[in-house]
Structure 1
Amino acid sequence: MIYAEKQITIRGEHLILNNLRALFWQCERALIASDLHVGKSAHFRKHGIPISVNVQHNDLDRLSFLVSHYQAKKLIVVGDLFHAEVNTDMNLFKTWRAEHPDLEIILIKGNHDRLKHVVYDSFDINCCQQELNLQPFKFIHEPELVDNEFTISGHIHPGVLIKTKGKQRIKLPCFQVSDSNLILPAFSEFTGLATSNNQKFNTYHAFTETAFFEF
């Protein structure tokens, strides 16, 4: 598994961005990700669209690698851990959870996290309805500017559009950072990219399979 990372400092805290679509908060030993959308591929298959089960396998394999690589003690999911209803992909997640029994999982619920409480309890997931405050950060699902606070969120699946010679274009996922917020890329690779969020004063930490690029 090819791996690249980039360290940034926000409000005195060291954060490690990686090209596997998550970040690691060193002080808290916390792996932070957003928009895993577990169950999305099975949801499409259920409705007659042939999406490979390998999509879910690959996402969970990357997550396992990151937990092991950083020796993470907790996983903070900034919304949309799950995609829709309980389906066959949940069996894969159940197996994955059993492989990481000591990992604390905290979910700030997103717009897709609509499962019954008993499902989250069965996976030993601690749920926050709207936000999680761990100073100096506030974790929320949908990006918003909060006075005097730094928010970490997801939801929009940020990306950058790069125009090259010959009218060629390429889209890359990115971490979008401003003075008051950080927006995570979607962890699942089975998602689109929003490339029109050109908020002023943003820095875009885009990445490929081998490297980071700053815009």
Structure 2
Amino acid sequence: MEDIAFQFRGKEWMLSAGRALYWTSQRALIVADLHVGKSAHFRKAGIAVPANIVQEDLFRLQQLIVRYMPERVIVVGDMFHSRANNEVEYFRLWRRQFPHIAFELITGNHDIMDASVYTSLDIRQYDFLELDDVYFVHDAADRPATLSGRYVLSGHIHPGVRMVGYGRQSLRLPCFYFGLEVAVLPAFSNFTGTYALEREAEAEVFVIAEKKVIRV
């Protein structure tokens, strides 16, 4: 998976085609919207969904951890999708590979399990998190009205960009979006759709395409 260095607001970030951001000075790997348990939730409802989605997503996260060797993994909401199920237990086993790494979750609208479950998974929960003038919140719409210079980093809406090719063919691809006041990370899970953002004129946008990060 390719990555690209991005200097922004005095900070050095690496944007990975694995749908993650690595904050160099903080030694933090940052992702959003893993939705662990989503495919099992759908299968329980009788909807045919492949069973290996969570394994593929967590293997990709494992590769990123091995690549960057972070001290902390920050999940900007919707780490889990619903109630505890067998995919949550799969995550529990997967988590044991990295007992030395802090997993920190900014609670999203789908993170509805009992607090004791997160504690048993060794995950710290926050409604929001502030780190070096960056304010982490799952849905940017929930940020306080006044943040006095702090930049907002969020998830939730699964941002995408529609790319148009020859013959009027088009494809919507996940992206990193850095606006004037708010950044939105791509959904980490492959089992999500994308939402086409209204792009600000000054925004920096990076599309993820075929394991590459492309500035557009």
Q: Flag whether TM exceeds 0.5 (same fold).
A: yes
Aligned counterpart for 1:58 among listed residues 56, 62, 68:
56
- 1:98-117 equivalences under 5 Å are 98-117=96-115
User: Are 1:38 and 1:56, in contact at CA under 8 Å, matched by a contact in 2?
Assistant: yes
Measure, in 1, the Cα distance between the counterparts of 2:31 and 2:197.
22
> Does the alignment pair 1:189 with 2:190?
yes
Q: Which whole-Å deviations, capped at 9, do the CAs of 1:81-134 have from their partners, x for residues lacking one?
A: 0000111111210111111111101111011111101100001111002x1011
Measure, in 2, the Cα distance between the counterparts of 1:84 and 1:210.
29
- C-alpha displacement at 1:179, in angstroms? 2.6
Aligned counterpart for 2:130 among listed residues 106, 124, 133:
133
- 1:42-121 equivalences under 5 Å are 42-121=40-119
User: Are 1:154 and 1:186, in contact at CA under 8 Å, matched by a contact in 2?
Assistant: yes
Residue 17 of structure 2 is matched in structure 1 by: 19
Residue identity matched to 2:100: D
Measure, in 2, the Cα distance between the counterparts of 1:16 and 1:106.
19
Q: Which whole-Å deviations, capped at 9, do the CAs of 1:12-38 have from their partners, x for residues lacking one?
A: 211000000001011111100000000
Q: Which runs of 4+ in 1 moved over 6 A?
A: none
Measure, in 1, the Cα distance between the counterparts of 2:36 and 2:212.
26
- C-alpha displacement at 1:62, in angstroms? 0.5
User: How well do the aligned residues superpose, as a CA RMSD in angstroms?
Assistant: 1.3
Residue identity matched to 2:26: E
Structure 1: state its 5+ residue gaps. Answer: none
Residue identity matched to 1:136: D
User: Are 2:15 and 2:21, in contact at CA under 8 Å, matched by a contact in 1?
Assistant: yes
